[in-house]
Amino acid sequence: AQKVTQAQTEISVVEKEDVTLDCVYETRDTTYYLFWYKQPPSGELVFLIRRNSFDEQNEISGRYSWNFQKSTSSFNFTITASQVVDSAVYFCALSEAGGNTGKLIFGQGTTLQVKP
C-alpha cells in the first residue's frame, strides 16, 4: 500500500539555522515520483520539487536541498540558513506511475516556524 509519513509534526527554529524535514514513503511500484509542496499561511499549495524513482541524485536550489535515498525510502528536505518567510506547512507527496492517474498521496505535513 502506498503511504507517506512525515514524523515531525512541528519544528521551530531561529532564523539562520539549518533545518531538515523528514519524509519516508512506502510503495510497491518500481516507478514512482516524489514531490515537496509548501503551504504558506495563505493556504495555496506551492510546488517545490519532484524526483522520479530512477534519479537518486541529490538536488540543490538556492537555500533548498533534497536528499533522496531509495535504500531507506526517504526523501528529506533541508533548508539552509532559514528565514522567517520559510514559515509554512511543508508536505511530501508520492505519485505512483502504475495507476497512470498522477494522483498524489500526501504526508501529514510538517509545520515549520522560523523565529526572528
Partner 1 sequence: GAGVSQTPSNKVTEKGKYVELRCDPISGHTALYWYRQSLGQGPEFLIYFQGTGAADDSGLPNDRFFAVRPEGSVSTLKIQRTERGDSAVYLCASSVSSASSYNEQFFGPGTRLTVL
Q: In the complex with partner 1, which residue's Cβ is closer, 99 or 115?
A: 99
Kindly report the length of the chain.
Answer: 116
Mode of pairing for the β-strands spanning 19-21 and 74-79: antiparallel
**Nearest-approach distance from CB 48 to partner 1, in angstroms:** 10
Mode of pairing for the β-strands spanning 110-115 and 10-14: parallel
State how far Cα 89 lies from the chain centre. 10
DSSP-derived secondary structure letter, 89: E
Q: In the complex with partner 1, which residue's Cβ is closer, 16 or 103?
A: 103
Amino acid symbol at 65: S
Q: In the complex with partner 1, which residue's Cβ is closer, 4 or 21?
A: 4
**Nearest-approach distance from CB 15 to partner 1, in angstroms:** 25
Binding residues for partner 1, per CB under 8 A?
Answer: 4, 6, 32-33, 35, 37, 42-47, 50, 52, 91, 93, 95-97, 99-109
